[in-house]
Amino acid sequence: MRVLMLSKALVHGAYQRKCEELAALPGVTLTVAVPHAWREPRVGTQQLERRHTDGYRLEALPIHFNGRHHMHYYPTLGRLVQQLRPQVFHIDEEAFNPATFLALRAGLRVGARCCFFNWANIDRYYPLPFNLFERYVFRHAAHAIAGNREAATLMRRHGYPGPLSTLPRCGVDPRLYAPGPPRPADGRFIVGYLGRLVPEKGVIDLVEALALLPAHVIVRIIGDGIERPRILERAAALGVAARLDLQPLVSSSQVAAQLQQIDVLALPSRTWPNWKEQFGRILIEAMSCGVAVIGSSSGEIPHVVADAGLIIAEGDVAGYAAAIRRLADDAGLRRDLAQRGRARVLDHYTQAALARSYHEVYRQCLAQ
């Protein structure tokens, strides 16, 4: 089975482990096409990391309109498709994107069975030409993959009639994201957040909650983005700046080590008119590391966490403070949630398990 995968997400080295697992499956010859870098709006540029590249070919391509999620495309992709002539072409982009439309046309020209991936979990009207791109992709794709339940529902509502699977884009490697040694007993209780510092991630709610918590509670925020100045200003205004540990974004290879140094992971995302949490990958990374998690009720978070963490209503600062206090005071509950989280990841979210699920999607594409 000759498989070509196109994915800007795979510039992150940690995500590439799924590709190694896919390539190791019997009969799979895999090529993965990525940009040299991806410029994430309001955050910064992620250069291509080559961390997990055994068993498959990782091809870096030029990209036009880098950083524009719904405008970018790969001008030389057609030549690569002609060269490889894949049997299955996995286009890891939304149906309404020009990148998906152009890639799918290139795949169809060589007889490839094409699948695509939708994260979008907010219903909206797509103007020309994006609605035409979506209709074309819906008509010609052999399979659709939804990153969350709401995305699957919306694809059906928009008229996609074909086979559809609900799968996250990437899982975790439980050998890398594993429980670390016990954190030194230094009297501090560390609540962590790792990710983008943008308004919709709700990080300000953690700062507000910190003001309601005792002095031994520390909030450690690791990330970059436009909210950084506001976070610092709000912490100073509330008198908690000394208990706020704000650190720059780390590479994907350092995330596990950072998670192993906190007591609880919080993801306080808020739903906006044009966005709500589509998955929350940091949740499964923390759960795999044996770290108890607190998530908001936004989007897919409650389905990802299930009974392996605490869910708080979006924007409920007092609720976050109460949950943090509860976990700080109850080591037994923390251990129970940590064990449930690790078990949930092993059952549903490992890179190996997802690789097998994606392989089944490809097999179904070829069987049609």
pLDDT in tens, 161-216: 999 999 999 899 999 999 999 888 899 999 999 999 999 999 999 999 999 999 99
Mean residue pLDDT of the chain comes to: 96
Name the residue among 50, 8, 2 with its Cα closest to residue 33.
Answer: 8
Mean pLDDT (whole number) for 87-96: 97
Environment class of residue 279 by beta-carbon count within 10 Å: exposed (0-12), middle (13-18) or buried (19+)? Answer: buried
* Cα-based distances in Å from 329 to 189, 199, 213, 219: 10, 30, 12, 16
Give pLDDT, residue 150: 95
Peptide bond into 129 cis (omega under 30): yes
Instruction: Say if residues 191 and 220 touch (Cβ distance below 8 Å).
Output: yes
Question: pLDDT per residue over 41-56, tens digit each?
Answer: 877 898 999 999 999 9
* Eight-state DSSP code of residue 27: T
Which residues does residue 45 pair with via DSSP β-bridges, in sequence order?
A: 39
Work out whether the CA dihedral 15, 48, 99, 201 comes out positive or negative: positive
Instruction: Say if residues 303 and 297 touch (Cβ distance below 8 Å).
Output: no
Give pLDDT, residue 40: 87
Structure-token pair, residue 85: 């002539």
Give pLDDT, residue 242: 97
Alpha helices in 143-261 (DSSP H): 149-157, 203-210, 228-238, 255-259
Q: For the CA atoms of the chain, what is the radius of gyration?
A: 21
Model confidence at 144: pLDDT above 90: yes
Name the residue among 137, 97, 132 with its Cα closest to residue 115.
Answer: 137
Q: How far apart are CA 251 and CA 254, in angstroms?
A: 5
Give pLDDT, residue 59: 98
Q: How far apart are CA 273 and CA 205, in angstroms?
A: 19
Peptide bond into 179 cis (omega under 30): no
Give pLDDT, residue 253: 82
Give pLDDT, residue 167: 94
Give pLDDT, residue 43: 75
Instruction: Say if residues 243 and 218 touch (Cβ distance below 8 Å).
Output: yes
Mean pLDDT (whole number) for 219-243: 97
Question: pLDDT per residue over 256-307, tens digit each?
Answer: 999 999 999 999 999 999 899 999 999 999 999 999 999 999 999 999 999 9
Q: How far apart are CA 319 and CA 195, in angstroms?
A: 21
Q: How far apart are CA 64 and CA 349, in angstroms?
A: 33
Q: Percent of the chain scored above 70 by pLDDT?
A: 100
Phi-psi category of 239—alpha, beta or left, where left has phi over 0 and alpha has psi -120 to 50?
left
pTM: 0.87
Model confidence at 84: pLDDT above 80: yes
Question: pLDDT per residue over 296-340, tens digit each?
Answer: 999 999 999 999 999 999 999 999 999 999 999 999 999 999 999
* Eight-state DSSP code of residue 350: B
Q: How far apart are CA 75 and CA 60, in angstroms?
A: 12
Q: How far apart are CA 166 and CA 172, in angstroms?
A: 17
Mean pLDDT (whole number) for 144-157: 96
Name the residue among 139, 92, 134, 131 with its Cα closest to residue 115.
Answer: 92
Give pLDDT, residue 183: 86
